[in-house]
A and B are shown apart, each in its own frame.
Chain A
Amino acid sequence: MAEALKLELVSPEKELASRLVKQVVVPGTEGEFVAMPGHAPLLSTIKPGVLVISEISGQETRYFVRGGYAEMANDQLIVLAERAIPLKQLDAAEIEKEIRWAEEDLEDARDDEERRKLQERLDFLKQLKQALELGH
């Protein structure tokens, strides 16, 4: 069994991580799972949540991920996420403010199209907030 797990975290805009790590906690649609070296091949979609990477050095790196899948095979974990944001870049107060604005905008929305867009944004912000609360 290999000592380390090869992690590839890819978002549409760029490759965020491609390195060896100890283990990764992945927020799968049907429950979180811990990907470790030697894990059986698995393909799972992911739900919005926090991806926790345990580095070789013992540190932890957290990402908020949303929309995509994780594939585990041959000691390699590939995570494709539509959005992936390092958790330490997020600021709870900032998000709180954004949520308030989004809610106000939603009340003022004129047509369905606008309302739908704002609702989507609001949902996203709420997911972020939730992830932050769980992550710290």
Chain B
Amino acid sequence: MPSLKDLRNRISSVKATQKITKAMQMVAAAKLRRAQEAAEAARPYSQRMNAVIAKLAANLKGREGVSPFLAGTGREDVHLLVICTAERGLCGGFNANIAKLAASHADRLIREGKTVKMLCVGRKGHEALKRQYGDLMIDDPVDLKQVKRLRFTHAHEIADRLIRMFDAGEFDICTLFYSEFRSVISQKPTALQLIPARFEEEEPQETVETASGAPAAYTYEPDEAEILNDLLPRNVSVQVFRALLENAASEQGARMTAMDNATRNAGEMIGKLTLSYNRQRQAQITKELIEIISGAEAL
């Protein structure tokens, strides 16, 4: 049975923790709003980029000489997994979920006899995966810890590196792992095939547009294939940028939820501890009274 003093100490320590979690929750809420705004501001660009590439790609389908960013290298032996996670912890299952998805992906590919390479963006993913897949990591994690506000140039640097590796033939297929921001309480770990590029949702929308608008006899400057070759590498940057922004919003959302839970748990715990503290105090008073009374009676 802990003494009264112990209980007092525990209560004050839990209260201090609660203050911290509460503050973190509030900070996360403020950052979440900004991250969400940034993610939304970036959406038109990536949507339009996707639409144009999908249109060009559909026109050029099956023709010779299509960029390997779209058609692939013709092999699928070497897979590069790019895993985007947060730089900080204390955000519930956010980092663990992405790492788990990437790990299950990697395990499946290894079972199929493919070569797997990994590149981590963000320290946490690297920490979670290095024990098991340390020898697959091609480099130290890309460090974004100093980054206060995510800019396109950050994504561009990562994408640039991927493109150079791809050109050097270091991998055939590149998959990006990140967490899609659904809502504050729901983030979905997602795998997105980056190279060769995949387009699914955009195409139906495209047919509607051409059907309603003028007959789309576009003039292309330079020709279609060249535009496509110019845009595809750019699209890699755009996709990485989008993934990073979604990730940033998800991270803050996850942290907010986690810290909200922690604050609530701390509150519950304070209640329980206070109750047992009061009971014990009362018991002690009763005991002292009995001692005094029985002492008086004995006289």
Task: Write the residues of chain A forming the contact surface with B, with a CB cutoff of 8 angstroms.
Answer: 8, 10-15, 28-30, 40-45, 67-69, 71, 73-74, 78, 80, 82-83, 117
Partner of B216, one of A14, A28, A73: A73
Partner of B219, one of A13, A42, A68, A80: A42
Q: Which chain B residues lie closer than 8 Å to A13 at the CB level? A: 38, 41-42, 151-152
Q: Which chain A residues lie closer than 8 Å to B44 at the CB level? A: 8, 10, 15
A29 and B221 contact, CB distance less than 8 A = yes
Q: Which residue of A lies closest to B37 (CB)?
A: A14
Known A67-B234, A82-B152; judge A15-B41 contact (CB<8 A): yes
Main secondary structure of the interface of B (DSSP, over half): helix
A10 and B48 contact, CB distance less than 8 A = yes
Docked pose: A83 CA to B151 CA in angstroms? 11
B217 and A41 contact, CB distance less than 8 A = yes
A74 and B241 contact, CB distance less than 8 A = no
Partner of A43, one of B52, B151, B214, B238: B52
Task: Write the residues of chain B forming the contact surface with A, with a CB cutoff of 8 angstroms.
Answer: 38, 41-42, 44-46, 48-49, 52, 56, 151-152, 155-157, 213-214, 216-222, 226-227, 230-231, 234, 237-238, 241
Docked pose: A100 CA to B155 CA in angstroms? 26
Greatest chain A CB density within 10 A among B42, B220, B221, B226 is at B221
CB distance from A66 to the nearest CB of B (A): 11
**What 4 new A-B contacts, CB under 8 Å, besides A28-B221, A40-B217, A44-B221?**
A12-B152, A45-B230, A80-B49, A117-B157
Docked pose: A44 CA to B49 CA in angstroms? 13
